[in-house]
């Protein structure tokens, strides 16, 4: 175990309030819906632009049936072979109770309400789902409706996560979004009226053309919208996207690191001032009960099944991922074969490093027992640089460390 107390006296500022230690991670199921009307220029998620195609009704039915079969096959394989489920001492040959379900995309809300409700129900048909499970569906503002929220609430959905990105019209245009600035606010109201208890809005900061004032106004609009969770991401440029190509050709300016750092600080200031707890690098919640339990599962290195195109799963140190091609996914599942494109078994030291990488993302940090052996000089160096702290007897990132997470981790893992 790394001796944190020896170095605790010289810790950096931050985190003088008690930090809630995480409960057991739980067990989750992620299901991916890889369809969007249009692919936003910045996005590299596994998704196909199907807006304008006239065969979507058939495609959607086929895909939802494939999700159901894929999940059933994984669950049966685990039971039959004592396979992935048996890798953990305490799991025996039974699958654990599901504590969170996340239907993400893409744009799950392109599916008709009854089909999307069926995707949620397919998990309960195969696995034991806790009555208190968090069940999240990712919604796009332009395809969500009162009818859809009603169907999701009736299907047991407890939480929606919606991509608002910005409330500045010119920024939405740059981001190629298909909704007005007002639409997410209206959708939040509709979701609440339908009985959805928890609502997240996704935001992106640092889009070319956005000003500090635009960003402040966006954050204030979120505070007034009545959500209980905010995910705010720095615009990330992926080379293979239209934004990546435009920047490479010089027709779009690259996001500026200093501007991004300032916007991150503004987010902390405005959301913190609105009562939101900054509990993960990019995530804020109105109190600890509103944190995303499914995402906490990822950061706590928990176990989750992956269902659908481009989905990633993890069970007891084994990671796997599914093909990013919808055509190949459908062909594999319909032929009763596996759509898995790759997997890796992490050695114990790799698991420990991964736990460190993920654990430092979260405010709660890591218990000393979960910290892999670190060079004492490396720990001191990271603490002296103000990136890491042990003030609460746990290994945590400081706020500077959060913005420079890669640097903080590389200093620790010399
Ligand atoms: C998987 S996407 C799906 C969200 C949903 N389809 C939507 O667009 O409303 C989840 C979130 O990731 C964020 N995101 C996607 N690409 C990003 C990028 N290149 N940089 C920063 N954030 C990004 C956006 O905030 C988006 O809402
Ligand atoms: S709608 Fe969402 S998932 Fe689809 S391309 Fe845009 S950001 Fe990506």
Tens of pLDDT, residues 354-367: 889 999 999 999 98
- Kindly tell me if the per-residue pLDDT of 335 is higher than 50: yes
- Kindly tell me if the per-residue pLDDT of 15 is higher than 60: no
| Best mutation site among 43, 173, 174 for ligand 2 pocket (most ligand atoms within 8 Å of CB) | 43
Q: What is the pLDDT of residue 376?
A: 84
- Kindly tell me if the per-residue pLDDT of 85 is higher than 50: no
Q: Are 308 and 329 in contact (CB under 8 A)?
A: yes
| Best mutation site among 32, 163, 175 for ligand 1 pocket (most ligand atoms within 8 Å of CB) | 163
- Kindly tell me if the per-residue pLDDT of 175 is higher than 70: yes
- Kindly tell me if the per-residue pLDDT of 19 is higher than 80: no
Query: What burial class does residue 143 get, using C-beta atoms within 10 Å of its C-beta: 0-12 exposed, 13-18 middle, 19+ buried?
Result: middle
| Spatial separation of the C-alpha atoms in residues 104 and 387, rounded to whole Å | 32
Q: Which ligand is nearest to the CA of 163?
A: 1
Supply angle C-alpha 250, 252, 255, rounded to 5. 110
**Shortest CA distance to 219 belongs to which of 141, 166, 142, 282?**
166
Q: Minimum mean pLDDT among 63-72, 87-96, 176-185, 315-324: which range?
A: 87-96
Radius of gyration of the chain (CA): 21
Closest ligand 2 atom number to CA of residue 38: 5
Q: Which ligand is nearest to the CA of 38?
A: 2
User: N- to C-terminal Cα distance for the chain?
Assistant: 17
3-state secondary structure of 119: helix
Residue 33, phi then psi, degrees to nearest 5: -115, 105
Please tell me the distance between residue 344's alpha carbon and the centre of ligand 2 in angstroms: 28
Q: In what order do the strands lie in the sheet with 283-285?
A: 277-280, 283-285, 229-234, 198-205, 159-165, 129-139, 98-105, 27-33, 303-307, 312-315, 318-322, 340-345
Count of CA atoms in the C-beta half-sphere (13 A) of 390: 20
Q: What is the pLDDT of residue 86?
A: 47
Residue 283, phi then psi, degrees to nearest 5: -130, 140
| Spatial separation of the C-alpha atoms in residues 401 and 383, rounded to whole Å | 10
Q: What is the pLDDT of residue 178?
A: 92
Q: Which ligand is nearest to the CA of 48?
A: 2
Task: Report the pLDDT averaged over residues 115-124.
Answer: 97
Q: Which ligand is nearest to the CA of 141?
A: 1
pTM of the model: 0.92
Residues with CB under 6 A from ligand 1: 42-43, 45, 104-105, 107, 138, 140, 163, 165, 202, 204, 233, 235-236
Q: What is the pLDDT of residue 265?
A: 95
pLDDT digits 0-9 by tens, 281-301: 999 999 999 999 999 999 998
Closest ligand 2 atom number to CA of residue 106: 3
| Spatial separation of the C-alpha atoms in residues 39 and 105, rounded to whole Å | 12
Q: Which ligand is nearest to the CA of 204?
A: 1
| Best mutation site among 46, 50, 51, 106 for ligand 2 pocket (most ligand atoms within 8 Å of CB) | 106
Task: Report the pLDDT averaged over residues 321-347.
Answer: 97
> Cα separations (Å) of 339 from 41, 226, 306, 327, 373?
27, 40, 11, 10, 37
| Spatial separation of the C-alpha atoms in residues 346 and 372, rounded to whole Å | 14
Helices (H) and strands (E) in the chain, counts: 15, 16
Closest ligand 1 atom number to CA of residue 164: 9
Token pair of 274 as six digits: 């609105």
Q: Are 235 and 203 in contact (CB under 8 A)?
A: no
Task: Report the pLDDT averaged over residues 23-36.
Answer: 89
Residues with CB under 6 A from ligand 2: 36, 39-40, 43, 45, 47, 105-107, 140, 163
Q: Minimum mean pLDDT among 40-54, 91-105, 231-245, 279-293: which range?
A: 91-105
Q: Which residue has the higher pLDDT, 338 or 19?
A: 338
Please tell me the distance between residue 241's alpha carbon and the centre of ligand 2 in angstroms: 12
Q: What percent of the chain has pLDDT over 90?
A: 77
| Best mutation site among 204, 227, 229 for ligand 1 pocket (most ligand atoms within 8 Å of CB) | 204
Please tell me the distance between residue 43's alpha carbon and the centre of ligand 1 in angstroms: 7
Please tell me the distance between residue 28's alpha carbon and the centre of ligand 1 in angstroms: 21
- Kindly tell me if the per-residue pLDDT of 18 is higher than 70: no
Please provide the average confidence, as pLDDT, over all residues in the chain. 90
Token pair of 32 as six digits: 């991916």
Q: How far from the centroid of its chain's Cα atoms is residue 12's Cα?
A: 29
Q: What is the pLDDT of residue 24?
A: 59
Which contiguous run of DSSP H or E holds residue 221? helix 212-225
| Spatial separation of the C-alpha atoms in residues 402 and 262, rounded to whole Å | 13
Please tell me the distance between residue 192's alpha carbon and the centre of ligand 2 in angstroms: 23
| Best mutation site among 47, 50, 231, 310 for ligand 2 pocket (most ligand atoms within 8 Å of CB) | 47
- Kindly tell me if the per-residue pLDDT of 87 is higher than 70: no
26-43: b (≥16 Cβ within 10 Å) or e: bbbbbbbbbbbeebbbbb
Task: Report the pLDDT averaged over residues 172-176.
Answer: 98
Supply angle C-alpha 80, 122, 317, rounded to 5. 50
Annotate 4-50 with DSSP letters as a single string: -HHHHTT--S---S--PPP----EEEEEEE-EESS--TT--SS-EE-
DSSP secondary structure code for residue 395 in this structure: B
């Amino acid at each position: 175990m790394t001796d944190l107390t020896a170095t605790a006296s010289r810790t950096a500022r931050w985190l003088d309030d008690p930090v809630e230690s995480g409960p057991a991670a739980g067990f989750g199921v992620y299901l991916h819906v890889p369809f969007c009307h249009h692919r936003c220029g910045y996005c590299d998620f596994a998704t196909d632009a199907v807006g304008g195609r006239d065969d979507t009704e058939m495609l959607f039915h086929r895909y939802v049936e494939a999700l159901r079969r894929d999940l059933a096959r994984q669950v049966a394989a685990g039971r039959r072979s004592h396979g992935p489920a048996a890798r953990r001492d305490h799991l025996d040959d039974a699958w654990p109770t599901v504590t969170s379900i996340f239907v993400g995309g893409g744009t799950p809300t392109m599916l008709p309400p009854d089909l999307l409700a069926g995707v949620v129900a397919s998990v309960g048909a195969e696995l034991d789902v806790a009555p208190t499970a968090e069940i999240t569906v990712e919604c796009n503002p332009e395809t969500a409706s009162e009818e859809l929220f009603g169907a999701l609430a009736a299907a047991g959905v407890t939480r929606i996560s919606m991509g608002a990105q910005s409330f500045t019209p010119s920024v939405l245009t740059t981001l190629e979004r298909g909704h007005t600035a007002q639409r997410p606010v209206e959708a939040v109201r509709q979701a609440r009226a339908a009985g959805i208890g928890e609502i997240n809005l996704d935001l992106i900061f640092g889009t070319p053309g956005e000003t500090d004032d635009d960003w402040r106004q966006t954050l204030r609009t979120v505070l007034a919208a009545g959500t209980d969770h905010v995910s705010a991401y720095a615009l990330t440029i992926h080379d293979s996207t239209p934004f990546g190509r435009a920047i490479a050709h010089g027709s779009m300016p690259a996001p500026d690191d200093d501007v991004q750092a300032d916007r991150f600080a503004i987010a902390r200031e405005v959301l913190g001032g609105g009562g939101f707890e900054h509990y993960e690098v990019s995530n804020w919640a109105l109190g600890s009960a509103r944190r995303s339990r499914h995402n906490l599962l990822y950061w706590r290195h928990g176990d989750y099944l992956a269902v659908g195109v481009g989905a990633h799963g993890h069970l007891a140190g084994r990671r796997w991922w599914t093909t990013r091609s919808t055509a190949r996914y459908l062909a594999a599942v319909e032929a009763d074969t596996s759509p898995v494109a790759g997997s890796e078994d992490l050695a114990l030291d790799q698991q420990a490093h991964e736990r460190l990488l993920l654990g430092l993302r979260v405010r709660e940090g890591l218990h000393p027992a979960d910290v892999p052996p670190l060079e004492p000089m490396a720990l001191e160096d990271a603490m002296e640089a103000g990136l890491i702290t042990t003030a609460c007897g746990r290994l945590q990132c400081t706020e500077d460390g959060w913005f420079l997470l890669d640097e903080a981790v590389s200093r620790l893992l010399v």
